Every structure is written in C-alpha cells, then in structure tokens.
Amino acid sequence: MKGGVAPSGRPYQVIIAENSKFQAKQLAQILESEGYEVVGFAETGKELLNMYKENRKVDLITLDLHLPVIDGFAAFYEMKDMGVLPRVIVITDENTPAVMKTLTDDGIMDYLVKPIKREKVLEKANATVRKTIKI
C-alpha cells in the first residue's frame, strides 16, 4: 500500500501552501505519486487560512514560511489558535536552527530545507501523517 493512503483505504488529504507555482506543482506531483490527494493550493498565508477554515479535516499541510500577504509564521500561529493544530511540514529555504527549534517546539511536525528531493518529501510526509496530532 502506498504511504499516502490511510489504513482505511482513503487517501490522505493535503494542502500545499507555497508561493512558487513551480514548487507547488513539483510537491503535488511527488505527493500524488504516493497516493496523497492534494485538495488545495495556497499562494498566500491568507488563502491557506481560508482553505483550512473550510477543510479542518485535512491530514497534512506543507507550509512555506515566506508567503505573501500573511507569511507562513503568522499563518501557522493563527491555525494553532483555532484549536487542534493540523499536521504541518514546513518546506522552506529558512534553515536557522533557532527558528526551526521554535516552530518544532510550537507544534510543526517536521521541516525540509529547499531544494526538495522526492525521497525526503515522501519520507517526511509518510512519517508525519502517522504521527498523533498535538492538542
């Protein structure tokens, strides 16, 4: 069975928050090849928050920290304030250890530093969807 499919047989649903259309498409192709269902693309933090409000049952969010309008940091903390935080993997070019430690301590489940590699994306996504959501 593919990693993007839950034990129930339902594909895990993903929102990709990424300001680069190329990067978003690349992530979608990688995840869909593993059975994940991409249910939305957000180019801004504001779009991400609107999508998350409409689909609180999403299984995974990939989050770029450098989003326009509302950045990824603010969007993350706003989602966190809504209650149960979804499974979030930060995929960004930000690699400051203190920033990543703070985000991990505050509830992101994992992170990847760009440029992305297919194997790493799938490894992190497959592990993350199997983790228990923090409350």
Q: What's the per-residue H, E or C state across 78-92?
A: HHHHCCCCCCEEEEE
Mean pLDDT confidence for 10-17 = 96
Residues 47, 36: Cα–Cα separation, whole Å: 21
Q: Which residues contact 113 (CB under 8 A, 6 or more apart)?
A: 92, 93, 94, 95
Check residue 131 and give its pLDDT.
85
Residue position matching structure tokens 């991990």: 104
- Is residue 52 very low, low, confident or very high in pLDDT (cuts 50, 70, 90)? very high
Check residue 94 and give its pLDDT.
84
Residues 93, 113: Cα–Cα separation, whole Å: 5
Q: Which domains does the chain have, with CATH numbers?
A: 13-130 (3.40.50.2300)
Predicted structure pTM score? 0.94
User: Judging by beta carbons within 10 Å of its beta carbon (0-12, 13-18, 19+), is residue 63 exposed, middle or buried?
Assistant: buried
